[in-house]
Structure 1
Amino acid sequence: MNTQLSLSKIQSLVDGSIADPSSLLGRHPVDYRGTPATAFRMFQPEAHSICLIDSASGLRRPMRRLHPEGVFEAILDESPESHYKVEMMDKKGKTTETADPYATPSLLTDFDRYLIGQGRHHKIYERLGAQLRTVNGVDGVNFAVWAPNARAVQVVGDFNGWDGRQHGARQLPNIGIWEIFVPAARIGQRYKFRIHSEQGHWMDKCDPMAFASELPPLTANIISDINSYSWSDSDWMDKRTEFDPLHAPMNVYEVHLGSWQKGPGRTNGWLDYRDLAKRLADYCHRMNFTHVELMPISEHPYSGSWGYQSVGYYAPTSRHGSPEDFMFFVDHLHQNGIGVLVDWVPAHFPKDDHGLRRFDGSPLYEHADPRQGEHPDWGTMIFNFGRNEVRNFLIANAVFWLDKYHIDGLRVDAVASMLYLDYSREEGQWVPNRYGGRENLESIDFLREFNNAVHENYPGVVTAAEESTAWPGVSKPTSDGGLGFTYKWNMGWMNDTLRYMREEPIHRQYHQNELTFSLIYAFTENFMLPLSHDEVVHGKGSLISQMPGDMWQKFANLRLLYSYMWTHPGKKLLFMGGELAQWNEWNEDDGPQWLLLDFATHRGVQQLVSDLNLLVNENPALHHFDFGPEGFEWVDCQNAQDSVLVYLRKGTDNDPPLLVCSNFTPVVREDYPIGVPQAGFWKEVFNSDGEAYGGSNVGNYPGCQSRGIGHHDRPDSIAVTLPPLGTTIFRLDQ
């Protein structure tokens, strides 16, 4: 054979053991019989014959078969100055004109490589993964993956019969990225990366930046075009840049898409994104919610994780459709005036073999030391936030959802576990930071960089931290030493309030401080008040089942809880089913008990939530100063014996204040004196005991005229009737 390839090198191509196929395949200068020449080589196991075609001259040269498994070569004295293609005839006689994968220049520019090395390529999802690409008129897919410790990387998929030998990637110098252009690959085809580890074994891994995946339990990725969807939400997106998250109303409906509503005849009853969009937009509009928050929608192998153990960080779960279907979902909600937030989980990832764990055979995304790299409670891996490439992967992922899917906010899960090195660990089970402390300095830097990337590039987008400790400055700007979140979930308020509400009313007089304590720290952070899915799972029971008393009192207590929550400073979040007063604890298989709406008592709670949302939306006093003391004023917080709370919520000088009066006992209190800041008629604008809500209709309709008698250190007062286990709200009629 007139070739300079040794039999061992040819064999390495055939058996797939070669680390860098591009060193042999493609175009290479050679010395042919003492004369400079060019060798063109291809490995195509399915080819019967291959011709080399000079794109400029049209000159055709047949390639010789060097090995029966499909190694071909042509040596030319003259090398085509222009680009070349190949014409391949397969064993069935079908002819295809294509490009040589190893003659294609890298998709990554020098600047891309610099940013990747620095960990600051915030749009790396436009370079790595499976990128649609046209090279010299030939359509295909550019595959690239970060696997710095791999011996070799192949791309396998429907386009090569899952035989990776013909698509071995080349390693780009210094950055640990492997890349190859595959002309035969097309949208809709499945693929994975086949990685040869340092330990000498091959592993099929999912693409960390795949845009779509198969329906679990299948795990292959799917080549997708996420740039062709035609968006229709320009009005929303334009207005979002002017959105002021600190002073605007925000009433959030937390939703698990897999169980919110079911569809007969579908896989596990899962509705598709388009159907869900129409149903959810209509429902939120009717219920006056301003936003939905989706429990994690990134691809996850186990449905029972509710999405909190993600494998496909860049892929909306295929349980409800394609990436384009999810774009329609967001688009449709935007067109109906509903914002879309998603839960984002950078704290940990699962151990599934096809996922990120030991991705190239080494602890790549996670810490090598299990004291830093594994969660003892959750059986998951912890990201190595000190590694540039890992931070880049996660921050680019946050940007990705805002950029490609128009998401309006990210709620970051389990922030407390990210802040402390000793989170849920005993002495000796954790590694101190460089100063000997328990703070995770790399994670703190990551969270600040994440928030800066979001807020600097996407005005109006919000970030919220699920953070349960007293860490200072979670929602303060990074320029002031904070973490930079827009909001912090107020877990203290949630725990204290639910603990108080579980008390029998006769005992509540001894627990008054559990309600009033939240106002001591209410303005130290930008708080969101959550009654989330975490409060109605794992044996806690539904919210109404946690309320004390007989059937009437349970409903009244739940209405009272919601009334107190919606009038307390802070943005609001309620998990689905809470608005129905459902009896069952939530599980992902059943979802909300919609049939309960056949009963007036449950319809009453649903109507109450809708009316409370509307009240907040239409009254600046209930949302404009959620995060400052100028929006709140105690009138009476010391009447523990009667378990009564009275306070004012205030907006700007032009906004009428609202007077909130809550009676946490089932005793009707008549002619109850309450001081008011101004004389006049105080109109009753809300009563949780109203008949429409299932209450006893005790109240003060249409309102109360001030009496000219000072009370509560105020110049005037009104005498009101406080309904049993109820809240009444008055507004000065100006």
Structure 2
Amino acid sequence: MQASPALVSSDDLYLFNTGQLFRAYRTFGAHLMEFDGQFGVRFVLWAPNAREVSVVGDFNDWQDSDRSVRLSPLGTTGVWVGFGPGLREGASYKYEIVNADGVRQLKSDPFGFQSELRPNTASVVTSLHHHAWHDRDWMDDKKKNPPYSKPMLIYEVHLGSWRMDAPEQFRNYEQLANELVDYVCSMGYTHIEVLPITEHPFDRSWGYQATGYYAATSRYGPPEGLMKLIDRCHRRGIGVLLDWVCGHFCKDDHGLRLFDGTALYESSDFRRAEKPLWGTLAFDFGKPQVQSFLLSNALFWLDVYHIDGLRVDAVASMIDMNFDKPESMRTLNRYGGTDDVEALHFLRKLNETVFHYYPESLMMAEDSSSYPAVTSPTYLGGLGFNYKWNMGWMNDMLRYMETDPAHRPSRHSLITFSLHYAFSENYVLPLSHDEVVHGKRSLLNKMPGNYNEKFANLRLFYGYWMTHPGKKLLFMGGEFGQFDEWKDYAGLDWSLLQYPLHDSMHRFVKDLNRMYLDTPALWESDHRQIGFEWIDVNNASQCMLSFQRMEQTSESPIITVCNFSRDKYPVYRVGVEKPGNYRLLLNSDRSDYGGSGYETPSLILAQNIPMHGKSHSIEVPVPALSILLWKSESA
């Protein structure tokens, strides 16, 4: 059928080609509709350098024929449009594109809402309006309560391997809506962060090398299944974050690479386009049509799937033109520097756009660079995110915790340096999937010492992580001490819970999570210096730290004492400001947590003995490799 101006508005074409069509998914792709009295599918595609474009599929045996849907160019806009009367939901299709050299290629729909189950790669005509949402209370409530002074405890999940009965026997979205959501609620997490679920051809890319940016992967079922999962999360009070990969895409032939025979979504300069570290291609952020594609995609997940926020992957690789590139591929920007000016502009525009429509959203930068003001507003020169992963804290802490306690005194600064910059950004403290793969070992197996000491070190590490300023993220399996690295091709080792120390670790993490949620001092002032104060930061010889966290509405601080050594201290004095009693909130050495059970009183009376610059002090027994939390009960 010939194109008609009525099928696509001139305003949409203008906005798309100027980088301002923020909901391009409503126009582009395959849409069920009625046109000229006939029901069928409208197809809209950006392919400015194509000679011909048709739609082929299971409705015409994948052959160019009279039953193909011929698309026609809309002037010089680079956009093609056509209508397929009689086509219905569920039809599989691809675009057959004849490029300028006369070569025919089959491409999946960049705006396709569903894909065939891999290894098949066609797009599927799909309506996204079948699910009736029941999360209005959640959606309204998050608009009224900004996240900054609330607890945030994120459970990072790879849906395919959270539970698996046999290789490639994945739980589907609807099963996860019951099992995963119930589990997350029972453990006390506030959010789930899902590794990328945009359609991807290779299981072991974990979704970080995508082909279908608008298609939730079919590995786990149809789109409405994912909607049911998110809906149930919201009805149970759990937010959902999506790992979002806008920096690069994979090179598979059916995807975005050389889409119309030319470098369309990527730069024509191979030095700019290639990501040699990952074998992928970078988006060309300077093209307005690519901006429309990506900005629309960000809003798509918030609009259609009610996602609560995006964790933007690999920001450091986006903003550095020469990130992990050999000398022969290095380039400079127009100012003679190495900052990717177009990528920086795109990230600012991304956050401005998302927060314009969804000011309550969470936009998190996974950024290992030292680029400043990542979480500052764009009008102040920042990138405009509201959170940044604290990769420096994570790397320093893991280096320290992997050190044998006998050698920790010389590395004391690794666990204290983060407080020099802890309030320069709004930070999330991540213990993510990247730290438990590729030979890095699981968190438990990173810990030094004998079997019992590994668990003691990990409990101590989790306790310090929970009491350090910043929101929290833990990758699945860490909560029960997964001993092996994460195996993306198999389920987590849930059978470990039959062993006492793993079961005890699971209990400890659950109690730790609940204590965190119930203790405003640990999250109310995460981003302000007022919420944290060192008591003794310099006791490197004993591998000891003590500090206090303060509530906004109470003068009763939380006193934290960490012992990173193998020595126990029957008498250890800690300075406090308030007289009166101090109640024990947490003892990681409790026997039911797998600890030694070293006797520690539940209530201690402060003495009028000055210490650490404070007017009073408490005298506490401190077990080896432990963390203790005390709460002042004074008025």
- Under TM normalisation by the shorter chain, which class is it? over 0.9
Contact 2:38–2:86 (CA<8 Å) still a contact in 1? Answer: no
1:168 match: 70
2:568 match: 668
Q: Distance in 1 between matches of 2:513 and 2:75?
A: 56
- 3-state SS of 1:340 partner: strand
1:6 match: none
1:523 aligns with 2:423: yes
2:346 match: 446
- 3-state SS of 2:34 partner: strand
1:651 match: 551
Q: Deviations over 1:212-248 (max 9, x none)?
A: 0011111011111102310011111111112312111
2:329 match: 429
What pairs with 1:266-415 in structure 2 (closer than 5 Å)?
A: 268-415=168-315
Unpaired runs of at least 5, structure 1: 1-100
Q: Distance in 1 between matches of 2:326 and 2:63?
A: 48
1:228 match: 130
2:508 match: 608
1:197 aligns with 2:83: no
Q: Distance in 1 between matches of 2:11 and 2:386?
A: 32
1:177 match: 79
1:677 aligns with 2:580: no
- 3-state SS of 2:40 partner: strand
Q: Deviations over 1:272-296 (max 9, x none)?
A: 1000111111111111000010000
- 3-state SS of 2:7 partner: coil
Q: Which amino acid aligns with 1:238?
A: D
- 3-state SS of 1:468 partner: coil
Q: Distance in 1 between matches of 2:445 and 2:234?
A: 35
- 3-state SS of 1:269 partner: coil
Quick one: structure 1 residues 607 and 678, their matched pair in 2 at CA, closer, same or farther if it must change by over 3 Å?
Answer: same
Contact 1:154–1:165 (CA<8 Å) still a contact in 2? Answer: no
Q: Deviations over 1:514-554 (max 9, x none)?
A: 10011111111111111101100000111111100011100
Aligned with 2:38 (options 135, 138, 142) = 138
Aligned with 1:249 (options 144, 147, 151) = 151
Q: Which amino acid aligns with 1:567?
A: T
Q: Distance in 1 between matches of 2:534 and 2:345?
A: 39
- 3-state SS of 1:439 partner: coil
Q: Deviations over 1:282-321 (max 9, x none)?
A: 1111110000100000000000101000000000000000
Q: What is the deviation of 1:324?
A: 0.7
Aligned with 2:21 (options 121, 138, 141) = 121
1:637 aligns with 2:523: no
2:528 match: 628
Aligned with 1:214 (options 90, 106, 116) = 116
1:498 match: 398
- 3-state SS of 2:144 partner: coil
Q: What is the deviation of 1:499?
A: 0.5
Q: Distance in 1 between matches of 2:482 and 2:17?
A: 52
Contact 1:580–1:593 (CA<8 Å) still a contact in 2? Answer: no
Q: Distance in 1 between matches of 2:165 and 2:445?
A: 27
Contact 1:245–1:486 (CA<8 Å) still a contact in 2? Answer: no
TM-score normalised to the size of structure 2?
0.98
The percentage of counterpart residues that share the same residue type is: 46
- 3-state SS of 1:247 partner: coil
Q: What is the deviation of 1:699?
A: 4.7
Contact 1:621–1:656 (CA<8 Å) still a contact in 2? Answer: no
Contact 2:376–2:383 (CA<8 Å) still a contact in 1? Answer: yes
Aligned with 1:692 (options 572, 579, 592) = 592
What pairs with 1:80-95 in structure 2 (closer than 5 Å)?
A: none
Q: Distance in 1 between matches of 2:134 and 2:592?
A: 38
Q: How many residues align?
A: 632
Q: Distance in 2 between matches of 1:430 and 1:661?
A: 48
What pairs with 1:720-731 in structure 2 (closer than 5 Å)?
A: 720-731=620-631
Q: What is the deviation of 1:104?
A: 5.0
Q: Which amino acid aligns with 2:103?
A: H
Quick one: structure 1 residues 680 and 107, their matched pair in 2 at CA, closer, same or farther if it must change by over 3 Å?
Answer: farther
Contact 1:156–1:193 (CA<8 Å) still a contact in 2? Answer: yes
Unpaired runs of at least 5, structure 2: none
Contact 1:668–1:723 (CA<8 Å) still a contact in 2? Answer: yes
Contact 1:621–1:655 (CA<8 Å) still a contact in 2? Answer: no
2:490 match: 590
Quick one: structure 1 residues 226 and 106, their matched pair in 2 at CA, closer, same or farther if it must change by over 3 Å?
Answer: same
Contact 1:195–1:202 (CA<8 Å) still a contact in 2? Answer: yes
Structure scoring higher RCO (CA < 8 A, sep ≥ 6) equals: 2
Higher mean C-alpha displacement, 238-247 vs 104-113? 104-113
Q: Distance in 2 between matches of 1:145 and 1:171?
A: 9
Q: What is the deviation of 1:591?
A: 3.0
2:316 match: 416
- 3-state SS of 1:309 partner: coil
Q: What is the deviation of 1:453?
A: 1.0
Q: What is the deviation of 1:158?
A: 2.1
Higher mean C-alpha displacement, 646-655 vs 541-550? 646-655
Q: What is the deviation of 1:161?
A: 3.0
- 3-state SS of 1:678 partner: coil
Q: What is the deviation of 1:654?
A: 2.6
2:140 match: 238
Q: Deviations over 1:56-113 (max 9, x none)?
A: xxxxxxxxxxxxxxxxxxxxxxxxxxxxxxxxxxxxxxxxxxxxx3375532212212
- 3-state SS of 1:313 partner: strand
- 3-state SS of 1:365 partner: coil
Contact 1:240–1:459 (CA<8 Å) still a contact in 2? Answer: no
2:481 match: 581
Q: Deviations over 1:691-711 (max 9, x none)?
A: 221111225331211011111
Q: Distance in 2 between matches of 1:662 and 1:208?
A: 52
Q: Distance in 2 between matches of 1:175 and 1:248?
A: 47
Q: Which amino acid aligns with 1:270?
A: F
Aligned with 1:567 (options 459, 467, 472) = 467
Q: Which amino acid aligns with 1:485?
A: F
Contact 2:573–2:611 (CA<8 Å) still a contact in 1? Answer: yes
Q: Which amino acid aligns with 1:584?
A: D
Q: What is the deviation of 1:159?
A: 2.5
Contact 1:169–1:179 (CA<8 Å) still a contact in 2? Answer: yes
Q: What is the deviation of 1:617?
A: 1.3
Q: Which amino acid aligns with 1:529?
A: L
- 3-state SS of 2:613 partner: coil
Contact 2:429–2:473 (CA<8 Å) still a contact in 1? Answer: yes
Q: Which amino acid aligns with 2:236?
A: N
Q: Distance in 1 between matches of 2:620 and 2:64?
A: 79
1:22 match: none
Q: Which amino acid aligns with 2:289?
A: E
Q: Distance in 2 between matches of 1:605 and 1:484?
A: 38
Q: Distance in 2 between matches of 1:655 and 1:218?
A: 62
- 3-state SS of 2:2 partner: helix
Q: Distance in 2 between matches of 1:514 and 1:635?
A: 17
Q: Which amino acid aligns with 2:99?
A: S
Q: Distance in 2 between matches of 1:528 and 1:591?
A: 26
1:158 match: 58
Q: Deviations over 1:113-157 (max 9, x none)?
A: 221121111111001000111124421110111000000100111
Contact 2:437–2:485 (CA<8 Å) still a contact in 1? Answer: yes
Q: Which amino acid aligns with 2:195?
A: M
Quick one: structure 1 residues 477 and 635, their matched pair in 2 at CA, closer, same or farther if it must change by over 3 Å?
Answer: same
Q: Distance in 2 between matches of 1:617 and 1:137?
A: 57
Contact 1:242–1:459 (CA<8 Å) still a contact in 2? Answer: no
